[in-house]
C-alpha cells in the first residue's frame, strides 16, 4: 500500500491500481484496501469497478461512513441518483460532522428537483465548514431554486 501511495502521489494511477490489485489477491477481506481500490477506480472513471470495490468494503465494514460516502459519489457520477441518495444519507447518519457528505447529499437532492431538502443539506455543510466557498455557493443556488 505504501508503494501504491507513492505512485498515486506521482500521478501514476494505473500502476497504483495494478499494485493494489495484487495486494487484494493476497488480502481479499481487507476493507481499507478495497476502499482504496474503489477510490482509484473512481478517479480513473471506472465506475463499475469503483462500485464493486466500495460495496465489497461496505459488506465487510458496514458502519464505516467513508465507504458509503464514496459509493454515493460513484452512484452520482453514474447518474444513479436514488442509489447515490441512499448511500449519502447512510454516510450522513453514520458521520454527522462531515461537511462534504452533506454537500454531496445536497447536490444529489438538487439534481432530483428537491431544492428545499437540498438547502437543508447545504446549510448543514456550511455550518460544519463555514469557510468553504463551494458549500456557501451551493446553498445560495438551492435557495434561488426554491423561488
pLDDT tens for the chain, residues 1 to 147: 777 777 777 777 878 788 788 777 777 789 999 999 999 999 999 999 999 999 999 999 999 999 999 999 999 999 999 999 999 999 999 999 999 999 999 999 999 999 999 999 999 999 999 999 999 999 999 999 887
Predicted pLDDT at 10 = 75
- CB contact at 8 A, 68 and 58: yes
Query: What does the DSSP 8-state code read for residue 29?
Result: T
Predicted pLDDT at 28 = 78
Its pTM surpasses 0.75: yes
Predicted pLDDT at 6 = 76
Predicted pLDDT at 22 = 74
**DSSP letters along 68-111, please?**
HHHHHHHHHHTT-HHHHHHHHHHHHHH-TT-HHHHHHHHHHHHH
Amino acid at each position: 500500500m505504501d508503494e501504491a501511495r507513492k505512485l498515486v502521489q506521482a500521478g501514476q494511477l494505473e500502476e497504483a491500481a495494478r499494485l493494489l490489485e495484487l495486494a487484494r489477491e493476497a488480502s481479499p477481506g481487507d476493507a481499507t484496501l478495497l476502499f482504496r481500490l474503489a477510490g482509484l477506480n473512481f478517479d480513473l472513471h471506472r465506475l463499475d469497478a469503483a462500485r464493486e470495490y466500495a460495496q465489497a468494503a461496505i459488506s465487510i465494514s458496514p458502519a464505516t461512513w467513508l465507504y458509503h460516502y464514496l459509493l454515493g459519489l460513484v452512484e452520482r457520477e453514474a447518474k444513479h441518483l436514488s442509489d447515490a441518495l441512499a448511500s449519502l444519507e447512510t454516510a450522513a447518519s453514520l458521520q454527522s460532522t462531515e461537511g462534504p457528505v452533506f454537500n454531496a447529499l445536497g447536490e444529489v437532492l438538487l439534481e432530483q428537483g428537491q431544492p428545499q431538502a437540498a438547502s437543508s443539506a447545504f446549510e448543514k455543510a456550511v455550518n460544519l465548514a463555514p469557510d468553504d466557498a463551494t458549500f456557501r455557493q451551493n446553498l445560495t443556488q438551492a435557495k434561488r431554486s426554491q423561488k
